[in-house]
A and B are shown apart, each in its own frame.
Chain A
Amino acid sequence: MTASAQTQSQPRVVLTARGLGKTFGGFAAVSNVNLDVHHARIHALIGPNGAGKTTVFNLLTKFLQPTTGKITLLGTDITHTKPDKVARMGMVRSFQISAVFPHLTVLENVKVALQRPAGLAVQFWLPLSSLDRLNGRAETLIDDLGLTEYRDTRAADLSYGRKRVLEIATTLALDPEVLLLDEPMAGMGQEDVRMVADIIREVARHRAVLMVEHNLSVVADICHHVTVLQRGEIIGEGDYASVSQDHRVRTAYMGTED
């Protein structure tokens, strides 16, 4: 799809934020955040609870309007774009609290994502069977993410880890250029963590991934670039090895890790 010849040499920047800030009342939840997210790279956003990571996601995807700063997606200024438009432009997010359609089955969840790009979302006069032609693609995604046996299970009845996997499957159904994952592995068992890490590594071969993650061994393992946030500000940046040596970062966040 979007893989270009130059990806190995200098991956292009697909998402940038400059001077991004958000205040709630008088409280600055995010201030002066600069980010460059690259194609075919996994970029981690880490930091203690309440640091402002989810708020940054909400700003980038325009679920919240930034108080200051500018956001560019694939060369287009999206600072004043609506969130659904941002999604259509190719940046799709997941949510920290798993976001599935609970009373729809796994297959239906994925198909809802496929309906819009397939131009099958506004037809109120067609029967549901008109969506059958999306089954093949939906089933491929479900199989790829190891949900085959849950195809007809209602999303509400899935385990927590599988709900997260379903969310990723639904997100991938849109084939986004930029993927934002908010704590995709929180609350998962060791085995699921491995599987999801592999999935993310695989999907990032052709897309940019920005993820919030608390599991630092996963960050060390799969992320190319790390940005550390504390009290809404960036206090460190670089690859995992250098960031984890930074003394501000160590005292603020990682001190608890070793």
Chain B
Amino acid sequence: MAHGHTNTEARAAHPQASALKTGLLLTLLALLLAAPFFLYPIFLMKLLCFALFAAAFNLLLGYTGLLSFGHAAFFGGAAYFTGHAVKVWGFPPELGILLGMAGAAVLGLVMGLIAIRRQGIYFAMITLALSQMFFFFCVQSSFTHGEDGLQSIPRGHLFGFINLSDTTNMYFFVLAVFLIGMALIWRIVNSPFGMILKSIRENENRAISLGYSVARYKLAAFVMSATLTGMAGGLKALVFQFATLTDVTWQMSGEVILMTLLGGIGTLIGPVFGAGIVVTLQNYLATSDFPVTIITGVVFMACVLLFRRGLVGEFYASRIGRSLGFNPEK
């Protein structure tokens, strides 16, 4: 981030921008800490799960340039794995989530190995096909309980003594997992490895000619994205205390693409906002007579047409954003 500008004016604006960013992040954090006392906690927890899902998805789309149309397999798959581990095997919640992540990682490795050498739309199609295969596996398999889903998953006791049946406790647990997930994504993006991912996204052939085995880096990014998606999926199973087929459908893969594009790819916080907007819309429209999918579809079309970079991306690129020293490209 430190060398993003050509002129001294923009460079001088940098400390201001990072101070502003820190300020915004702290405000956001304060809001998240205070939110459960003002808003419906289940809604907030759902929002955080999807925000993490979208951010994990964006690690692949925004920072590696790969459009996966199969991320529901990792999200819904991890929900089943975590649910099963907690309910049937009696795992504590933290281990349940870790197991869900491990399961998503294995799924990601298998899908990635098959898909990673395909380019563009073929990559999207193969990931879609593979996730549909996983969907049918879930329909048939006994441990998912088919159409019924895995019901009444216990939330259990965190570290054996914090009772997560208490909604406030659960909320802060979800918030903590969300923050850990976001921190991991931030670290990956801003690391030596993240630099190579960026260069692959920018010019794949050049990266190859510099000796990088591009397919391996992409595969690693794919598995990381799947694992972090699994973190969100496992968390969601504990929040709602069930895991169903809904989360492994292709519509779920589409929804996360929508959230990410809406908020803006290539920014860390964009998908979080995108998820917030979509989940909020769904929540309020669910109780009204409007058809949810049509409204979200229209909002999505309008945003994509009006704000090519997504909401956060457009803000970074706007006069205000630029004058504050944000760099829309990073």
Q: Is the CB of A128 within 8 A of B195?
A: yes
In the complex, the answer to whether A116 meets B211 with C-beta atoms within 8 Å is: yes
Q: Which residues in window 86-117 of A have CB below 8 A to B?
A: 87-88, 92-95, 99-105, 107-108, 111-113, 115-116
Chain B 210-249, CB-CB to A under 8 Å as 1, else 0, gives 1111100000100010000000000000000000000000
User: Is B209's CB under 8 angstroms from A99's CB?
Assistant: yes
Flag the segment in A33-41, A151-159, A232-240 that touches B: A151-159
Across the interface, A104 reaches (CB within 8 A) one of B6, B190, B199, namely B199
Closest B residue, CB atoms, query A106? B3
How many chain-B residues does the 8 Å CB contact rule pick out? Answer: 33
* Chain B CB within 8 A of A63 CB: yes
- Closest B residue to A113 by beta carbon equals B210
Docked pose: A131 CA to B220 CA in angstroms? 20
Q: Which of A104, A157, A170 contacts B210 (CB 8 A)?
A: A170
The DSSP consensus for interface residues of chain B is helix
Nearest A residue to B210, CB-CB:
A113
Sort chain A's interface into a size bin: 35 or more
Return the contact of A124 from the options B3, B5, B187 (Cβ within 8 A).
Answer: B187
Contact B206 A101 (CB under 8 A): yes
Q: What is the distance, in angstroms, from B56's C-beta to the closest C-beta of chain A?
A: 14
Q: Which residues of chain A come closer than 8 Å to B198, judged between CB atoms? A: 101, 103-104
Chain B: minimal CB distance from A142 (Å): 12
- Cβ contact of A127, chosen from B4, B190, B203, B207, cutoff 8 A: B190
C-alpha gap A108/B220 in the complex (Å): 22
Residue of B nearest to A101 (CB): B202
- Determine whether B98 belongs to the interface, using a CB cutoff of 8 Å to chain A: no
B208 at the A interface (CB under 8 A): yes
Q: Identify whether the interface residues of A are mostly helix, strand, loop, or mixed.
A: loop
Q: Determine whether B27 belongs to the interface, using a CB cutoff of 8 Å to chain A.
A: no
Contacts of A82 in B (CB 8 A): 213
Chain A residue nearest to B206 in the complex (CB): A99
Inter-chain contacts of A84 with B (CB < 8 A): 208-209, 211-214
Q: Which residues of A contact B1 (CB under 8 A)?
A: 128
Compute how far the CA of A126 lies from the CA of B195 in the bound complex, rounded to whole angstroms.
11
Closest beta carbon of chain B to A62's beta carbon, Å: 10
Closest to A93 in B: B209
With contacts A124-B224, A154-B6 known, is A103 near B202, CB below 8 A? yes
Interface centre among B192, B214, B220, B330 (most CB of A within 10 A): B192
Query: Counting CB contacts under 8 A, is B188 at the interface?
Result: yes
Bound-state CA distance A139–B4 (Å) is 17
Nearest chain-B residue to A173 (Cβ)?
A: B210
B209 touches A95 (CB 8 A): yes
Contact present for B6 and A63 (CB under 8 Å): no
Are B210's CB and A92's CB within 8 A? yes
Nearest-CB distance from B200 to chain A (Å)?
9
How far does the alpha carbon of A122 sit from the alpha carbon of B190 in the complex, in Å?
Answer: 12
15 additional contacts, CB 8 Å, given A105-B4, A115-B196? A84-B208, A100-B206, A103-B330, A104-B202, A108-B3, A108-B195, A115-B192, A123-B191, A124-B192, A128-B190, A128-B192, A131-B192, A153-B6, A157-B6, A174-B210
Q: Could you list some 25 contacts between A and B, CB below 8 A?
A: A61-B209, A83-B208, A84-B209, A85-B211, A92-B209, A99-B203, A99-B206, A99-B209, A100-B203, A101-B206, A104-B198, A107-B3, A108-B3, A112-B195, A112-B210, A115-B196, A120-B192, A123-B192, A123-B193, A125-B187, A126-B191, A127-B190, A153-B6, A154-B4, A157-B6
A residues adjacent to B (C-beta < 8 A): 61, 63, 82-85, 87-88, 92-95, 99-105, 107-108, 111-113, 115-116, 120-128, 130-131, 151-154, 157, 170, 174
